[in-house]
Amino acid sequence: MEEGKNEIMELRQMIEGCFERQNKLIARLEMELEALSNFNGKQMLDSRDMRLQLKVCDRTLIRWRMSGKLPSFKISGKVYFWAFDVYKFLREEYGTAALPEAFE
């Protein structure tokens, strides 16, 4: 019976160690992702970020980009927007009351 308790304790320690390593890895990945979305202290947003935060579809983003209302740039074929350009666009088009919580 004592041997069974020891095995359970060892298994528990192994699982806790796995969780601890996993949490450290997640924290490191979050830091790397944050670094990828910033360049020289300026925040970059990709199309997915824009769709989720502004609650618009891809077609709307494309229309804003093509009309020149919302400046964008590409890196390796992926479209990005500078956060300050997005703020400026939203203020000019809709006023400050239209800013989503994520942009305030």
Contact 37, 50 (CB under 8 A): no
Residues 47 and 71 in one domain: yes
User: Region 27-54: what's the mean pLDDT?
Assistant: 75
Residues 88 and 53 in one domain: yes
Give me the domain span that covers residue 72: 39-103
Residue of 64, 38, 68, 54 lying closest to 103 (CA atoms): 54
Q: Across the chain, what does the average pLDDT equal?
A: 80
Residues 32 and 47 in one domain: no
- pLDDT band of residue 5 (cuts 50, 70, 90) is confident
DSSP SS3 for 73? strand
- pLDDT band of residue 100 (cuts 50, 70, 90) is low
Q: Which helix (H) or strand (E) holds 57?
A: none
Residues 56 and 77 in one domain: yes
Q: What pLDDT, on the 0 to 100 scale, is given for residue 55? A: 87
User: Region 58-64: what's the mean pLDDT?
Assistant: 93
Q: What pLDDT, on the 0 to 100 scale, is given for residue 90? A: 83
Tokens at residue 98, please? 């239209």
Contact 54, 93 (CB under 8 A): no
Residue type, 92: E
